[in-house]
């Protein structure tokens, strides 16, 4: 059953409940007792896992406004939001669907949570604008920060998920980078430039270990993942990228699919990427020079403002304040003193 959670989301939504029951099937009381004890222990240790998914179902069931087409069904609080989101989801679907061999067997269910606090309680990681069940058909969106880009990004996760065999692990950098690439997201040039200049650009094998949901480097999956997908498209053409996506539908290993598509070993490909990154984003690259230029202009402007401010302060110290006495006033005061 692929209609819901084997979950990866905006990334992976690992806090979702498994779709099939994990209860042991009639193999003795001891195993059963052990399972119950373990489950109780797990729930005591991670109560948020249970409450988050229970809360999610509760929030979703309150979204009464529905707008649908044959391929997408949107659930929201207001008819207006549902219709607006459906138009964006249809646009994303019509643009991406022809590039994939398969689509989910059921219509894509899109849930727009307009209440920010509610959305924050159901999101799988902080600061997301949306997430999707990879290998499933559900998209969840933050209603207060909704645009075509995020809808297309999540639709890309759904379609990619529907086109890879259930057991095939897609690294987060590719899942996120691909979704960023096809949705025309901001390319994070400054962040990549910073990573290149501070020596934090990762090769393929290190990148494969980055979890897009957890850890201090979780942004790396999105930022560098996008840069790597752009590198693949730039260097080998966008059609090869789609050829890789098609190949994934019958692959047993992501790295092997990469090697077969680009006909280079993963080590060579990784070295090409690192060389491309320092050419494209290093300080001496066009983008680097442009950024240094912008920063130098900024520094000059700051210097000019500082000099002007200093001069203005000095001027104000030297010029008479309203409390200063004029010559006439001093004269008058002295005359008054003499009269006393």
Cα 27 to its chain centre, rounded Å, is 44
DSSP letter for 127, please.
T
Nearer to Zn ion, 74 or 179 (CB): 179
Report the alpha-carbon distance of residue 265 to residue 276 in Å, rounded.
Answer: 16
Question: Side by side, which strands form the sheet with 72-76?
Answer: 65-68, 72-76, 108-113, 138-142, 130-132
Q: In the bound complex, what is the minimum distance in angstroms from residue 157's beta carbon to Zn ion?
A: 6
Nearer to Zn ion, 150 or 251 (CB): 150
> Closest-CB residue for Zn ion?
10
Work out the burial of residue 273: count CB atoms within 10 Å of its CB; fewer than 13 is exposed, 13-18 middle, 19 or more buried: buried
Nearer to Zn ion, 16 or 276 (CB): 16
Q: In the bound complex, what is the minimum distance in angstroms from residue 153's beta carbon to Zn ion?
A: 6
Q: In the bound complex, what is the minimum distance in angstroms from residue 106's beta carbon to Zn ion?
A: 21
Q: In the bound complex, what is the minimum distance in angstroms from residue 316's beta carbon to Zn ion?
A: 55
Closest C-alpha among 56, 217, 175 to residue 124: 56
Kind and range of the H or E run holding 319: none
Nearer to Zn ion, 219 or 272 (CB): 219
Q: In the bound complex, what is the minimum distance in angstroms from residue 66's beta carbon to Zn ion?
A: 25
Nearer to Zn ion, 156 or 277 (CB): 156
CB atoms within 10 A of CB 99: 14
Backbone angles phi, psi at 136, to 5 degrees: -120, -155
Residues contributing to the site for Zn ion (CB under 5 A) = 10-11, 176, 179
């Amino acid at each position: 059953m692929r209609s819901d959670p084997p979950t990866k989301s905006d990334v992976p939504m690992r806090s979702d409940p498994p779709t099939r029951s994990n209860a042991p099937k009639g193999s003795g009381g001891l195993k059963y007792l052990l399972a119950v004890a373990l489950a109780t222990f797990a729930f005591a240790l991670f109560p948020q896992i249970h409450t988050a998914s229970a809360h999610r179902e509760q929030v979703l069931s309150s979204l009464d406004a529905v707008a649908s087409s044959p391929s997408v069904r949107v659930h929201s609080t207001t008819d207006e939001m549902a219709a607006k989101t459906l138009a964006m989801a249809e646009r994303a679907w019509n643009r991406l669907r022809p590039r994939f061999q398969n689509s989910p067997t059921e219509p894509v269910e899109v849930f727009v949570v307009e209440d920010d606090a509610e959305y924050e309680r159901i999101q799988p990681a902080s600061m997301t604008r949306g997430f999707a069940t990879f290998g499933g058909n559900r998209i969840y969106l933050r209603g207060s920060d909704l645009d075509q880009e995020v809808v297309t990004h999540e639709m890309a996760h759904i379609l990619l998920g529907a086109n890879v065999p259930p057991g095939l692990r897609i690294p987060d950098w590719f899942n996120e980078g691909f979704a960023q690439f096809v949705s025309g997201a901001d390319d994070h040039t400054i962040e990549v430039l910073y990573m290149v200049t501070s020596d934090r650009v990762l090769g393929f094998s290190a990148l494969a270990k980055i979890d897009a949901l957890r850890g201090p480097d979780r942004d790396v999956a999105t930022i560098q993942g996008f840069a790597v997908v752009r590198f693949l498209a730039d260097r080998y053409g966008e059609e090869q990228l789609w050829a890789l996506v098609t190949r994934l539908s019958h692959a047993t290993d992501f790295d092997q699919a990469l090697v077969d598509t680009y006909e280079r070993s993963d080590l060579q490909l990784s070295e090409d990427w690192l060389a491309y990154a320092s050419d494209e984003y290093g300080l001496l690259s066009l983008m680097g020079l442009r950024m240094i230029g912008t920063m130098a202009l900024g520094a000059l402007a700051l210097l000019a403002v500082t000099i002007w401010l200093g001069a203005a302060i000095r001027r104000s110290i030297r010029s008479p304040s309203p409390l200063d006495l004029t010559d006439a006033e001093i004269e008058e005061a002295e005359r008054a003193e003499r009269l006393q």
